[in-house]
């Protein structure tokens, strides 16, 4: 047995470079040359080398993916913020427009004036039943501590014609709005619906109105 081992060792230099046999165990033990171990038809050394070569690319791809993910989140949050701000601005704008419009068209003074005009016999005789009051009444309304005054001008539309009505209204504490003076203008003629209180000035006529004496007994 010893003779066969010596013969085998003696033949190694002829098959390998000089010193290869002596250096491999020392280098492998020191970690400078990994021991080639076969695994699934491929050496572990080659597999590790391939992983080492691919590691920078994998790390770079993961970094780019993380940056892209953070960027997508920032863009999503920014978009949601813009949508919320846009919705809030739209609501504020709608409230700013709708509140005055609602007040002018359906407030206490406008509603009292509309009710008075619908039920006034002179208005019905001149333009028929009132079917419209225009989009937006002109004039002014003020109310402080339960007391108020209003001056309103309506563009009336009736079943027999059209006209313009000018009304003054007042409100006292704990009472509703009431009409204190009213005039109707149809085709340039003025019809007094209610005389203003004594000592107060009558409401000015709208553009195009005039005062003439009508044969019906109304000031037109």
The 3 state secondary structure assigned to 92-139 is HHHHHHHHHHHHHHHCHHHHHHHHHHHCCHHHHHHHCCEEECCCCCEE
pLDDT tens-place string over residues 158-167: 999 999 999 9
pLDDT digits 0-9 by tens, 20-75: 445 445 544 555 545 554 545 555 555 566 555 555 665 565 666 666 677 777 77
Q: How far is CA 59 from CA 55, 62, 63, 213, in A?
A: 6, 5, 6, 99
Residue 202 domain-assigned (yes or no): no
Backbone φ and ψ of 99, nearest 5°: -60, -50
**pLDDT tens, 134-163?**
877 788 888 888 888 989 999 999 999 999
Task: Compute the distance between CA of residue 18 and CA of residue 21 in angstroms, rounded to an integer.
Answer: 8
- Does residue 60 lie in a domain region? no
* Domain assignment present for 174: yes
Q: Is residue 157 one of the residues assigned to a domain?
A: yes
Confidence tier at 79 by pLDDT (50, 70, 90): confident
Rounded CA Rg of the chain? 50
Rounded CA separation 16/183 (Å): 126
Domain that residue 180 falls in = 108-194
Tokens describing residue 134: 């225009």
Q: State residue 83's pLDDT score.
A: 81
Structural domain count, the chain: 1
Q: Helix (H, G, I), strand (E, B), or coil: what is residue 210?
A: coil
Question: Does residue 46 form part of some domain?
Answer: no
Query: Do the domain assignments include residue 100?
Result: no
Assess if residue 182 is contained within a domain: yes
In a domain, 209, yes or no: no
Q: How far, in Å, are 100, 105, 155, 167, 176 from residue 142 at the CA level?
A: 13, 15, 21, 14, 14
Indicate if the pLDDT at residue 113 is higher than 80.
yes
């Amino acid at each position: 047995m010893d003779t066969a081992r010596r013969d085998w060792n003696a033949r190694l230099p002829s098959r390998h470079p000089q010193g290869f046999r002596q250096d491999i165990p020392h280098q492998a033990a020191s970690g400078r040359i990994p021991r080639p171990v076969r695994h699934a038809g491929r050496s572990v050394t080659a597999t590790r080398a391939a992983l080492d070569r691919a590691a920078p690319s994998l790390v770079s791809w993961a970094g780019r993916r993380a940056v892209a993910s953070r960027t997508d989140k920032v863009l999503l949050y920014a978009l949601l913020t813009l949508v919320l701000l846009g919705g809030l601005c739209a609501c504020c704008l709608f409230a700013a427009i709708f509140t005055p419009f609602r007040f002018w068209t359906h407030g206490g003074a406008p509603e009292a004036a509309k009710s008075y005009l619908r039920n006034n016999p002179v208005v019905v005789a001149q333009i028929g039943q009132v079917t419209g009051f225009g989009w937006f009444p002109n004039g002014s309304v003020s109310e402080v501590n339960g007391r108020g005054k209003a001056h309103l001008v309506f563009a009336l539309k009736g079943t027999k014609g059209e006209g313009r009505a000018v009304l003054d209204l007042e409100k006292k504490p704990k009472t509703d709005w009431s009409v204190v003076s009213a005039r109707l203008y149809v085709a340039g003629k003025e019809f007094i619906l209610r005389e203003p209180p004594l000592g107060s000035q009558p409401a000015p006529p709208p553009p195009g109105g005039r005062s003439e004496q009508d044969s019906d007994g109304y000031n037109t």
